[in-house]
Amino acid sequence: MNTFGTHLKISIFGQSHAPVIGVVIDGFPAGITVDTEALQRFMARRAPGGAAYSTKRKEPDVPEFISGFAHGKTCGAPVTAIIRNQDARSSDYEALRDIPRPSHADYTAHVKFGGKNDVAGGGQFSGRLTAPLCIAGGLCMQWLQKQGIAIAAHILSIGNADDIPFDPVRPDCGTLTAGKPPVLDASAWDRMLSEIEDARKMGDSVGGVIECAATGLPAGYGNPMFEGVENKIAQIVFGIPAVKGISFGSGFEGSRVRGSANNDAFVMDGDAVRTKTNNHGGSLGGITSGMPLIFRAAVKPTPSIAQEQDSINLFKRQNTKLTIQGRHDPCIVPRAVPCIEAAAAVAICDILLNSNHPIGE
């Protein structure tokens, strides 16, 4: 199911090589003017074709809005945007109908859909479907910005090249401006590019970790137990292909230290309540604390590699060798950065638009 959200519902459609990919955004606030240039800049960060580490598939990824507007502003009706696929070469994939690519969804989709699934370019499982996610997220970020909420992500690591992490209490999102590499420590970028280039030369790929921060969130939003901030964000972030882990605040590292070190003391900051540290990552009991929301997502190495791999022939039921043709990214982590931001933005909008708040007597 390709639908996410309760108060803001997004429904993503399309396949890698369908005529169109797109998204319906239901519940988006009315009266909003979209800054299409800013949206296009946001989309461009994800678009393929622009860098050495990126697939050579060329897609301008210009969203066309086909519903949800009146006189240039959102009107409360579902906002629908589509992107026409332009540079699809399905013939690259004919050989893959019988032989599933390791660590792709080819095999599991084959079983689930009885062999009727669209194999071209990975079909609906393609990373290309993150383009409509970015449209939805880009719109949400523009609305959130008006509410004083900023979202920014950077690459924490690619392979073994590490950036510095956010200061969890005061994450410097200003460093992450469009047109510059998405790292906090500029020197990390070269090391990351080397990791990618080394992998590419060997017909291999690398993964990485992306760290995302959202600032300006008011306290008291979210829900207990199964609809909390972490639950919602995890649900959408695992919708991005290749994400295999997520952690909030001090996460896995925090499980190593003691409570006295991991606890975040409350402190008055004028009349505002803050915490001295932010190991909780902005959510306690599934509810926003007013501190920055900080989370990390682990992105696996691109499963499409140029090296010959072992696989099977699904119809002959025998082992075989597979060499993947087509155009692939040796590392999708840089292009996944805006996708993570987009996912966070959609989830945060869904959380904020649920003002199911204390009404009391």
Residues 24-43 touching a second copy, rule: CB under 8 A, are: 24, 26-27, 29-33
Please state, in angstroms and rounded to a whole number, the distance separating the CA atoms of residues 215 and 249: 14
Give the nearer residue to a second copy in terms of CB position, either 177 or 206.
206
In angstroms, the Cα distances linking 142 to 60, 138, 149, 282 are: 21, 6, 9, 21
Q: Which stretch binds a second copy (CB under 8 A): 42-50, 51-59, 175-183, 261-269?
A: 261-269
Q: How far is the CB of 268 from a second copy (least distance, A)?
A: 5
Minimum Å gap between C-beta 237 and a second copy is 8
216 interacts with a second copy by CB under 8 A: no
Give the residue with the Cβ less far from a second copy, 44 or 75: 75
Segment contacting a second copy (CB under 8 A): 3-11, 39-47, 170-178, 182-190? 3-11
Q: Closest separation between CB of residue 143 and a second copy, Å?
A: 8
Cα gap 148→142, rounded to integer Å:
10
As measured in angstroms, the least distance from the Cβ of 122 to a second copy is: 8
The answer to whether 316 touches 226, Cβ cutoff 8 Å, is: no
- Quick one: tokens of 271? 């009349």
Cα–Cα distance measured from residue 189 to residue 126, given in angstroms and rounded to the nearest whole number:
26
Does 91 engage in binding with a second copy (CB under 8 A)? no
Residue 27 or 49 with smaller CB distance to a second copy: 27
Q: Three-class SS of residue 288?
A: strand
Question: CA 203 to CA 226: how far, in whole Å?
Answer: 42
Q: Binding residues for a second copy, how many (CB under 8 A)?
A: 158
> Cα–Cα distance between 52 and 239 in angstroms, integer?
26
Q: Based on CB atoms, which residue is closest to a second copy, 19 or 50?
A: 19
158, 161, 167, 172 alpha-carbon torsion, rounded to 10°: -70
What is the distance between the alpha carbons of residues 178 and 288, in angstroms, rounded to a whole number? 28
Burial of 3 (0-12, 13-18, 19+ CB in 10 A): exposed
CB of 151 to a second copy, least distance (A): 18
> Which range of residues in 95-103, 163-171, 175-183, 184-192 is near a second copy by CB under 8 A?
95-103
From candidates 36, 113, 167, 194, binder to a second copy by CB under 8 A: 113
Please list every residue from 289 through 318 that binds a second copy, using CB under 8 A: 289-290, 296, 298-305, 307, 309-312, 314, 317-318
Pick from 137, 168, 239, 338 the residue near a second copy by CB under 8 A.
239
Burial class (CB in 10 A: 0-12, 13-18, 19+), 107: middle
Q: Pick one of 50, 148, 285, 323: the residue that binds a second copy (CB under 8 A).
A: 285
Strands 79-84 and 64-67: antiparallel
CB of 198 to a second copy, least distance (A): 9
Residue 44: CB minimum distance to a second copy, A: 23
Q: How many CA atoms lie within 13 A of 11 on its CB side?
A: 9
- Location of structure tokens 């993570």: 340
Site for a second copy in 178-207 (CB under 8 A): 199, 202, 204-207
Q: How many CB atoms lie within 10 A of CB 232?
A: 25
Q: Minimum distance from CB of 342 to a second copy (Å)?
A: 13
Secondary element (H or E) of residue 20:
strand 20-26
Is 327 an interacting residue with respect to a second copy (CB under 8 A)? Answer: no
Toward a second copy, which CB reaches closer, 6 or 44?
A: 6
Contact indicator for 71, 344 with CB cutoff of 8 Å: no
Where in 139-178 is the site for a second copy (CB under 8 A)?
143, 146, 157, 159-160
User: How many whole angstroms separate alpha carbon 56 and alpha carbon 99?
Assistant: 23
State the nearest-atom distance from the C-beta of 156 to a second copy, in Å.
Answer: 9
